[in-house]
Structure 1
């Protein structure tokens, strides 16, 4: 019944425009069927992240809450995200060998346990870091910024030293995403604001922040005190270019200097960049039947916190608690899966949401 309601909701969004647009979308649906793309589970709104298992003072990523706000304020965002998701699934389905797929979780053909050569090669992402500070301690050092860059490059290239902690059940799924991050510039700006919240003010010079630099071809990261115990948030592909990027509070950025245990290993940025590259939370931001659109990540009914014991069982399967897209402590997350790799890289393909990065 839930799948039917979600499909109906997607259909209502798609067919509220004029007859000609409906006819065009119908042709796209036919193309989807030709490459075995199922969009019936596409869903963007999520339940409140404070529901489900208690955070117990743990990690707080506001990406999905920010997404819900943007969906309410931008009537075209849902359709753009739908189109991006359809393109991702088409690309992955076209690259996947016949009969490949499967994995541990419920997905819609969006990557499984079998590595696929997508033809994109190594992807290089320039990074602009904007440090907006109210106190000297928030004006983080170059060394702290460089330590974060090192973590991103290790985590996205399967060279992190702690990957050996992944249990044997999931060890074969650890992915080398083959994405490199290069620091392109650092901006520093003093501010009278003590906290910025999640309304993107830090992304506009007119509001006291710093404007994004070439967001069509570079990742922008704003490092400032968000407040409210929020570690960070990101913008999914499809949003306004002016606000495209990642926001992280300074004490959760990097591994040295002004960092706060247990989020002092640079994994907040790894997590948020995952969102920026189109990954959902590992539990799908819902209960057991809500999916993260990745076939090889097990279903779960909510986030995990702290350092859970293995196995942690939910939805009749072992949770991949060590995945970067869960809410566990930095020292207890060590991997992206092959399916997540496929999703992230697909947005750089021809027609993808971040194609301009590699043109």
Structure 2
């Protein structure tokens, strides 16, 4: 009788073991499917140099992609680092959309850690001013720029009421608060600093960034060439991390004309937080890696009428990541919000701002 009982027990244990092994294998397959990430469309290069055109005012809105090309050529490891950031971003968004998270990550020892950072994000801003004469960049420009960044990233731009009903359900409050930190000023009569980050290097007459892991460094200088600004994407060196804005396009200033309302900084900070141009820097087969923004094949300039249709869909011309005039851009989308917030989770490239 004992032999029979022992045999039954062994058989039961064997079956239970098989069942557990099968369950583990099944769960592993399910988990793999849940976090499967398609990177086949990922690229760091523009489809054509012609896509970086100029506005009717002969201003080149943004040269972030040109600066990225320069940085990729100088740093052979940058492409892999940016690929990994993109992979983790897509994985985080996929997990969020499926209601998944990392088990046991809550403050009480249970629950889940969200794959997308939740809660208000506070970003200190260090302003590095290189002016041709003392007082060229006014305190009003500084104060207005911080105010405008907060308006735009907290969905308080008064023009947002003009968002067409087609897109109204996609408008996001990114819930980022920008606070003014230190202001560093030097005088340098250099007429044009270009786009290769010389303004960030003291040996070339520039100002070094202040702790880029915990501050947004913003340089204000004469870039030259009718260029409004550019930014470094996540993954680049801390020695050059931040945003560069042309003197006439920083904050509210009459010298900037239709681009003197402070939205160049909003656009460039979007790049700094991993947003691409809304048309994907390519033709209709290129994307900005955000699901809820329409496909387009080129930037829009000035103040386009609605609807502006390209690639068989209506362009979201009022998005901050297009090239329209300052008064004509007034929204981020929920998908863009997720993409930016994925940088702030544990292990993310911007986690130092919240931990």
TM-score by length of 2: 0.84
Kindly state the Cα deviation for residue 59 of structure 1 after the two structures are TM-superposed.
Answer: 4.2
Q: How many angstroms apart in 1 are the aligned matches of 2:226 and 2:54?
A: 15
Q: How many angstroms apart in 2 are the aligned matches of 1:292 and 1:77?
A: 19
Q: Show the counterpart of 1:306.
A: 302
Output one character per residue of 1:99-140: Cα deviation in whole Å (capped at 9) or x when no partner: 9xxxxxxxxxxxxxxxx9945210000000011011356x21
Q: Show the counterpart of 1:343.
A: 339
Q: Show the counterpart of 2:349.
A: 353
Q: Is the 8 A contact 1:32 1:90 kept in 2?
A: no
SS in 2 for 1:45: coil
Once the two structures are superposed, the pairs formed by residues 253-332 of structure 1 within 5 Å of their partners are 253-256=250-253, 259-332=255-328
Bigger relative contact order, structure 1 or 2 (CA pairs below 8 A, ≥6 apart): 1
Q: How many angstroms apart in 2 are the aligned matches of 1:61 and 1:41?
A: 23
Change (3 A) 1:32 1:340: farther
SS in 1 for 2:182: strand
Q: Unmatched 5+ residue regions in structure 2?
A: 1-29, 101-113
Q: How many angstroms apart in 2 are the aligned matches of 1:130 and 1:49?
A: 30
SS in 1 for 2:344: coil
Q: For 2:213, which of 211, 216, 233 is the aligned residue?
A: 216
Change (3 A) 1:98 1:355: closer
Q: For 2:151, which of 142, 154, 164 is the aligned residue?
A: 154
Q: Show the counterpart of 2:35.
A: 35
Q: How many angstroms apart in 2 are the aligned matches of 1:349 and 1:161?
A: 31
Q: Is the 8 A contact 2:320 2:329 kept in 1?
A: yes
Output one character per residue of 1:169-191: Cα deviation in whole Å (capped at 9) or x when no partner: 11111100011100011011001
Q: For 1:197, which of 186, 194, 197 is the aligned residue?
A: 194
Output one character per residue of 1:243-302: Cα deviation in whole Å (capped at 9) or x when no partner: 00000001101114x531110111000000000000000000000110100000000000
Larger radius of gyration between Structure 1 and Structure 2:
2
Q: Show the counterpart of 2:3.
A: none
Q: Show the counterpart of 2:122.
A: 124
Q: How many angstroms apart in 1 are the aligned matches of 2:89 and 2:122?
A: 19
Change (3 A) 1:189 1:165: same
- How many residue pairs match? The answer is 312
Kindly state the Cα deviation for residue 32 of structure 1 after the two structures are TM-superposed.
Answer: 6.5
Kindly state the Cα deviation for residue 89 of structure 1 after the two structures are TM-superposed.
Answer: 1.1
**RMSD over aligned Cα atoms:** 2.0
Output one character per residue of 1:301-330: Cα deviation in whole Å (capped at 9) or x when no partner: 000000000000000000000000000000
Q: Which moved more, 1:147-156 or 1:45-54?
A: 45-54
Kindly state the Cα deviation for residue 51 of structure 1 after the two structures are TM-superposed.
Answer: 3.4
Once the two structures are superposed, the pairs formed by residues 73-222 of structure 1 within 5 Å of their partners are 73-97=74-98, 118-136=116-134, 139-222=136-219
Q: How many angstroms apart in 2 are the aligned matches of 1:233 and 1:122?
A: 25
Q: Is the 8 A contact 1:134 1:191 kept in 2?
A: yes
Change (3 A) 1:121 1:96: same
Q: Is the 8 A contact 1:131 1:140 kept in 2?
A: yes
Change (3 A) 1:161 1:40: same
Change (3 A) 1:119 1:279: closer
Q: Show the counterpart of 1:6.
A: none
Change (3 A) 1:140 1:32: farther
